[in-house]
Chain A
Amino acid sequence: MADYKNEFGWFAPKPTVEKKIYNLTAVAVGLGIFLVVFGAPVLLNMGKVHPVPQPSVDTPAIQKLAEKERQCVEPTEWMRANHMQLLWDWREQVVRTGERYYTTSRGKKVLASLSNNCMECHTNKSQFCDQCHNYVAVAPNCWGCHLPKEQNVAKAEGK
């Protein structure tokens, strides 16, 4: 169908609309803000190398153990993701039922205690716990009550 009649009359030329960006300043400012805000993580981190946290298991207590016994109460992979759950369960268990022992998945009975079991080996809170907690910005409230062993050690050495 030929375009013989439109809203402007018979064979009338359609009005041409200027091809341009209206309100260019406002649009540019808006798009700029959008790009800067949403691109911030890339703009600020581009090309940088971020050290990966290396929780240290090099403590005197662990060194003393025989090679075979150098393992946590549960497999390391599981502990990485679920240690907070384990500590929480231990707290519930000890406080509510008075049962102070926990049977590991390997069938070993261990003392269910942060201060008196975990931190017997992991005496280095700042080199172990804090490494990952700081990296992912987790602030566990363990230390509201529990004293990190290394402080005691430092105190004792200071005396």
Chain B
Amino acid sequence: MNFTQRHITVALAAVLGLIAVAYVGVQGNLQLLFGVVVPYLALLLFFEGIIYRVIKWARSPVPFKIPTTAGQVKSLPWVPRTLGDKLDNPESKAWVLGRMALEVLAFRSLFRNTRTELVPDPKFPEKARLVHWSYKWLWLGAIAFHYAFLIIVLRHLRFFFEPTPHAIALLGEIDGFWQFFIPTFYLTDIIIVLALLYLLGRRLANANLRYITLASDYFPLFLILGIVSTGILMRYFFKTDITAVKQLIMGLVSLKPVIPAGISPLFYVHLFLVCVLLAYFPYSKLLHAPGVFFSPTRNLPGDNRWALHVNPWNYPVKFHPYMEYEDQFRDAMYEAGIPVEKEPETAEVEEE
């Protein structure tokens, strides 16, 4: 087994194992465990983990500002600055908000992604040429995945509120506006599957990427693929009584848990994988969600030229200025003929 196979096997085995655990558990009538105890525990871990990590990050001092972000910094009045420069190198906190919004909502820095490749030179076929080219596919895959996931999560809120808010119902109708298949096919379901397969395939297709891809990169992809596929199977193929599902979830959110009868094991598998995702979130790379707000190159204004940033861990430095040095070695310097600021005689007079 080579490196890549090992890492894929571990991640895949973990996800399949989790599916098996939930399936076998529910077959063994552990509905109370998988329907109530595990979701509450997962939520506890999720909130605790996020708060812990955010506070830990907030306690880390930022030693200096990173001034070299793309874009012209605010300078002399005749140096032109476009809107892009202002957003990329913001001069104030308000503009930082703009840059952060662009980063969080539109994945700005991923959009600037480039790929560097050696390609055969057209003129000299025996030689290679280094080419840097703008590579937008990763951005497209990432943004498709994240927005599809967001819409799917928002759509699921119909199970969390009674009565269902109109906005949520409307979102479901927009997502399913083709009115194709029964129950209505949701466009985001196919988008998220394609985006996930692309994100997985990207890691597998390129040898350089394969080399830096570990089990902890495959695991979230397989886990989310597992969640999505159990959800799709449950919605379109092996249906369950969703009225009972909503009762279960309303019981959880109103803190009066109930286990209604008639829910298929597939639902518990789906729920268990979601719980694992929640519990795994604060202790893994998925924590880039709150982490982006703590990126120094994103959240610090580029105002180095007129605002002093003091390093929080500056310590009192013992200086040894030149005059002290000369006081120490004046006589020796004078004897060696090295020019001194004060002649030895005047220095002695001053001391007296």
Contacts and interface: CB of A to CB of B under 8 A. Distances in A.
A44 B250 CA distance: 11
27 contacts: A17-B61, A18-B312, A22-B59, A27-B58, A30-B293, A38-B47, A42-B253, A45-B161, A45-B253, A46-B253, A46-B254, A46-B255, A50-B162, A52-B247, A77-B262, A80-B243, A80-B262, A81-B240, A84-B182, A88-B182, A135-B162, A135-B243, A135-B246, A136-B164, A136-B243, A137-B168, A141-B179
Nearest to A30: B293
A41 B313 contact: no
Interface string A18-33: 1111111001001100
Given A42-B255, A135-B246, 10 more contacts: A18-B61, A22-B60, A27-B55, A35-B47, A41-B161, A48-B254, A77-B262, A80-B241, A84-B183, A137-B164
B307 to A, nearest CB: 15
Which 6 pairs show the lowest CB-CB distances between chains A and B? Answer: A15-B315, A137-B164, A88-B182, A41-B160, A81-B239, A137-B158
Interface of B: 47, 50-51, 54-55, 58-62, 157-164, 168-169, 172-173, 179, 182-183, 239-244, 246-247, 250, 253-256, 262, 264, 290, 293, 312-315
B51 A31 contact: yes
A138 interface: yes
Interface string A90-106: 00000000000000000
A38 B161 CA distance: 13
Nearest to B263: A81
A30 B54 contact: yes
A23 B62 CA distance: 11
A31 B160 contact: no
Q: How large is the interface on A (under 10, 10 to 19, 20 to 34, 35 or more residues)?
A: 35 or more
A134 interface: yes
A45 B250 contact: yes
A146 to B, nearest CB: 15
Given A27-B54, A82-B239, A132-B243, A49 B256 contact: yes
Contact of A138 (B58, B61, B183, B290): B183
Nearest to A141: B179
Contacts of B55: 21, 27
A47 interface: yes
B281 to A, nearest CB: 11
Nearest to B251: A50
Interface of A: 8, 15-24, 27, 30-31, 34-35, 38-39, 41-42, 44-50, 52-53, 77, 80-82, 84-85, 87-88, 132, 134-139, 141
Contacts of B253: 41-42, 45-46
B312 A17 contact: yes
Contact of B290 (A21, A34, A41, A49): A34
B313 A15 contact: yes
Contacts of B164: 136-137
A113 to B, nearest CB: 17
B349 to A, nearest CB: 35
A42 B157 CA distance: 12
Contacts of A49: 254, 256
Given A15-B315, A22-B61, A134-B163, A53 B243 contact: yes
A136 B179 contact: no
A68 B213 CA distance: 63
B172 A137 contact: yes
Nearest to B316: A15
A45 B179 contact: no
Contacts of B50: 34
Nearest to A43: B253
Contact of A31 (B54, B59, B239, B242): B54
B141 to A, nearest CB: 26
A157 to B, nearest CB: 29
Contact of B255 (A21, A35, A47, A77): A47
A42 to B, nearest CB: 5
A39 B160 CA distance: 11
